[in-house]
Amino acid sequence: MSGKAGIDELELNAFVDGELDVARLRSVQEAIDGDRDLTERVTAIQTDKLRVRQIYGPLIDRSLPAEWIRLTRHGRGQVHLRRTGPIAAIAAALIVFIAAASYAVYDVRTSSQEEVVQTALDARGAESVPVKVIGVASGGSRQYNGVLAAAVGLDVKVPDLGALGYQLVQIRLYRISGAGAAELSYRDRQNRLFTLYLRHSDGSVRFDQFARAGLRICVWQDEDLSTVMAGNVTTAAMQRLASLAYTGLTL
C-alpha cells in the first residue's frame, strides 16, 4: 500500500512511533512536510496514539487492593480474596470513564492516607523543620545505614539508586509527634530531585502511585514501614525507582 513519495502506511506509523532509522526518518520527514495529505495522516495517527495514553494512562493511579499486596507478601493462606460483584463492576467501570472524560490526572485521595503524603511533601518542600541535616559527599551511601535505622527505629538501610542514575545527596531527620522520620534526597545527572520519605507505618498495607503538584508520587507501605517517594519522573521511571528503593531499604 505504498502511497505518495513512496511512503506507505507502515512507514507513517513507524515515523510516529520513532522507529525509523536516521536516514529514512529524514526523507520521510521531508515528504510529510511537503504534503498536506501525509501531514494529516500523521496527525491522525499521533492523535489516536496520544489519546490512548491520555485516556488509559491515569488508571495507573488507582490504589491497589490491600488484599493483593498481602497475598503477594504472605501467600494465599492468610488472605481472603473476593471476586467483584455487579455493584463493584459498575463502580470499577466508572473509573475508566472518569479518566476518559476528564483528561486530567487522577488523584487518589483518602483522608486517612493523605497525611503521610502531605507530611512527605512538606519535608520535600522544606516546609517542615528537620532536627538534623546530613550532607552526603560523593561515595557510598552505606555509611549512613546506622543513622537512618536509628532515626526511624527500624532495621532499614539507605538504598543505592545508582543503577538508575541517582546519587544520594542529603539526609534529613525529623521528629514528628515523638516519632522519627527521615527524608533521603537523591539527584540524577540533570540535577533532578528524587526523595524517599520513611517512617513507621500505621499498620495498613498500601501501594499507590499518582500525580500531585507536578510530581509523580509512590506510596509503599507495609505493616512496619511507610515510604513516600516523589520525583519529577515518568510513571515507568517511578516504577523502577520505587522497586529499587524499596528493595534497597532491606537488602
Partner 1 sequence: MSKSNEFADALIAYLPALRRYAVALVGNAALADDLVQDSLERALRQSTQLRELQNMPRWLRRILHNRFIDEIRKSGGRGAHDDIADFCDHPDLAVQALDSLANRDFVRAMNALSFEHRQILLLVGLEELSYRSIADELGIPIGTVMSRLARARERLRSLMQDGGAEIRPFPIALKEAR
Tell me how far CA of residue 137 lies from CA of 141, 147, 152, 189, 209, in angstroms: 9, 15, 22, 15, 31
| 71 forms part of the interface with partner 1 (CB under 8 A) | yes
Q: What's the start-to-end Cα distance of the chain, in Å? A: 55
Q: Which one of 34, 65, 140, 153 is in contact with partner 1 (CB under 8 A)?
A: 65
- Shortest distance (Å) from residue 37 CB to partner 1: 15
Q: What is the CA radius of gyration of the chain?
A: 23
Binding residue (CB under 8 A) for partner 1 from 4, 73, 109, 132: 73
236 binds partner 1 (CB under 8 A): yes
In this complex, which beta carbon is closest to partner 1, that of residue 174 or of residue 207? 207
Residue with cell 510529510: 32
Rounded CA-CA distance 55/76 in Å is 34
Output the smallest distance, CB 176 to partner 1, in A.
Answer: 26
Task: Determine the Cα–Cα distance for residues 144 and 168; give it in Å rounded to an integer.
Answer: 10
User: Total binding residues for partner 1 by CB under 8 A?
Assistant: 61
Q: Where are the alpha helices (H) located in the chain, listed in sequence order?
A: 9-16, 22-33, 36-56, 66-74, 86-102, 111-124, 145-152, 235-250
183 binds partner 1 per the rule CB under 8 A: no
Under the binding rule (CB under 8 A), the answer on residue 105 touching partner 1 is no
Q: What is the number of helices (H) and of strands (E) in the chain?
A: 8, 7
Of 40-59, binders to partner 1 (CB under 8 A) are: 44-45, 48-49, 51-53, 55-57, 59
For residue 101, state whether it binds partner 1 (rule: CB under 8 A).
yes
Which of 170, 227, 234, 174 lies closest to 200, judged by CA? 227
| 158-163-167-170 Cα dihedral, nearest 10 degrees | -20
Query: Does the protein bind partner 1 through residue 147 (CB under 8 A)?
Result: no
**Residue span binding partner 1 (CB under 8 A) among the ranges 24-32, 97-105, 126-134, 192-200:** 97-105
Give residues in contact with partner 1 (CB under 8 A): 9-10, 13-14, 17, 19, 44-45, 48-49, 51-53, 55-57, 59-62, 64-65, 68-69, 71-73, 75-76, 81, 83-85, 88-90, 92-98, 100-103, 207-209, 220, 235-236, 239-240, 242-243, 246-247, 250-251
